Amino acid sequence: MTVKSPVTEKARPQGCTNYRIRQLMRQVSQFYDAELGQAGLKGTQYALMAHVIQLGPLRPGDLAKAMKMDASTLTRNLKPLLDAGWLSRSPGPDGRSRSIAITDAGRDKWRQAREHWKRAQQRINGMLGEDRVMALHSLIDESLDLLAPHEPTGADS
Amino acid sequence: MTVKSPVTEKARPQGCTNYRIRQLMRQVSQFYDAELGQAGLKGTQYALMAHVIQLGPLRPGDLAKAMKMDASTLTRNLKPLLDAGWLSRSPGPDGRSRSIAITDAGRDKWRQAREHWKRAQQRINGMLGEDRVMALHSLIDESLDLLAPHEPTGADS
DNA sequence: CGGCAATAGTTGCATATACAATACTTGCAG
DNA sequence: CTGCAAGTATTGTATATGCAACTATTGCCG
């Protein structure tokens, strides 16, 4: 009865994509936060530290770009990690920029947290099934690519 | 080179599901907020009002449950909408509970915002493709079901 | 009726998020 | 060299989010 067309009517998206993603984010992040909380980190902080470890000392702006988040958000997200001594902020080469780096304590903390992260990821894999998680990852990755504002690509001129 | 096993090795999820979902949420919500902002609403507020319209006057706790969000989050999310006069909070039947309802102004505002929402959704559909959006919806809906804490289901005993 | 567990909502605290406005540098044009 | 545009980060403001603690009611048990 909800089908209004007799033949060859293409199905269309129903409901709000935004609300769905938000809801999923709320549910999922609680699992990660519950596990990572045992190591004293939130999911976002774990991810932030992972990027700093991976990308080495770098400027806040570049880090924000890498994580596709607003620079002002990053500034604030850095604060608790700097206060805890897990990251350091030193003057950058350029007088107007800074340099963010992982500290030894930060590296230790992250390695410890990584074990908790693994458990969280395994719980999610278990609840959703690995195939579904992989499908979700693929779909999200594709979507992120399609939504990303195409930057000039080439270094021409 | 990244493939380490010669044959019959099942692929496994790579990377962090939490971070991916969060990133997608950030990107997507900006499209909706940009459109809905023209009507003076955020995406979350639009969804909240939709629920109140749909579920009629109801208690905050029930609304929070319907939206699968923490009750304290709801309390705070209601505030700007109450202040704007789009929702009303009256004493509930029970002395300890309240009743949240849409106002006439709220209904008007929401109907106006709905046009902006449609544009946002169309933009997303266009950028991702309707098929991909539908696949994403399905996957998210399934995941939400699987993550939902199974309530007692039956009213046994 | 008196006390106490259960229920409903809010507040305290900390973080996450982004847009707009601001501060500070740098670099270039004149 | 001066001044202004561009680049980089931060602050102001407002919302979103959840856990823990708290307040207020209700309802029941004795």
Contact check, Cβ <8 Å, A125/B20: no
Q: What is the pLDDT of residue A2?
A: 54
If DSSP codes are grouped into helix, strand and coil, which group holds residue B102? strand
CB A121 within 8 A of CB B13: yes
* A71 CB within 8 Å of a chain B CB: no
Q: What is the pLDDT of residue A155?
A: 40
CB A87 within 8 A of CB A3: no
For the beta carbon of residue A103, count every other beta carbon within 10 angstroms.
Answer: 16
Q: What is the pLDDT of residue B11?
A: 80
Residues of A in contact with B120 (CB under 8 A): 18
Q: How confident is the model at residue B93 (pLDDT cuts 50, 70, 90)?
A: confident
Q: Burial level of A113, CB count in 10 A (0-12/13-18/19+)?
A: buried
Q: Is the CB of B112 under 7 A from strand C?
A: no
- pLDDT, mean over chain A: 91
What lies within 8 Å, CB to CB, of A117 at 6+ separation is A32, A35, A36, A46, B16
Tell me the nt nearest to B71, Cα to C1'. Answer: C9
How many helices (H) and strands (E) would you count in chain A?
Answer: 6, 2
Residue nearest to nucleotide D18 (CA to C1'): B70
Find and list the nucleotides of strand C having atoms within 7 Å of a protein beta carbon.
7-12, 14-21, 23-27
User: Over the stretch A27-42, which tens digit does the pLDDT of each residue have?
Assistant: 999 999 999 999 999 9
Residues of A in contact with B43 (CB under 8 A): 18-19, 22
**In which residue are the tokens 């033949």 written?**
A7
CB A18 within 8 A of CB B29: yes
Residue range A82-101: mean pLDDT, rounded? 95
How many helices (H) and strands (E) would you count in chain B?
Answer: 6, 2
Distance from CA of B66 to the nearest CA of A (A): 11
- B59 CA, C10 C1': Å apart: 14
d(CA A85, CA B65): 39
Residue range A135-147: mean pLDDT, rounded? 97
* Stretch 37-56 of chain A: residues touching chain B, C-beta under 8 Å: 43-44, 47
Q: What is the pLDDT of residue B4?
A: 54
Q: Does the pLDDT at position A17 exceed 80? A: yes
* B88 CB within 8 Å of a chain A CB: no
| Poorest-pLDDT segment among A97-111, A125-139, B120-134, B141-155 | B141-155
* B24 CB within 8 Å of a chain A CB: yes
User: Over the stretch B127-146, which tens digit does the pLDDT of each residue have?
Assistant: 999 999 999 999 999 999 99
For the beta carbon of residue A145, count every other beta carbon within 10 angstroms.
Answer: 10
**Alpha carbon B70 to chain centroid distance?**
13
Contact check, Cβ <8 Å, B68/A135: no
Q: How confident is the model at residue A157 (pLDDT cuts 50, 70, 90)?
A: very low
* A9 CB within 8 Å of a chain B CB: no
* B23 CB within 8 Å of a chain A CB: yes
Highest mean pLDDT among A80-84, A150-154, B153-157: A80-84
Q: Does the pLDDT at position B157 exceed 50? A: no
Q: How confident is the model at residue A11 (pLDDT cuts 50, 70, 90)?
A: confident
User: Over the stretch B46-92, which tens digit does the pLDDT of each residue have?
Assistant: 999 999 999 979 999 999 999 999 999 999 999 999 999 999 999 98
Contact check, Cβ <8 Å, A23/B67: yes
Distance from CA of B95 to the nearest CA of A (A): 31
d(CA A57, CA A37): 26
Tell me the nt nearest to A73, Cα to C1'. Answer: C17
Q: What is the pLDDT of residue B156?
A: 39
Contact check, Cβ <8 Å, A23/B124: no
User: Over the stretch B110-133, which tens digit does the pLDDT of each residue have?
Assistant: 999 999 999 999 999 999 999 999
DSSP annotation of B58 reads B
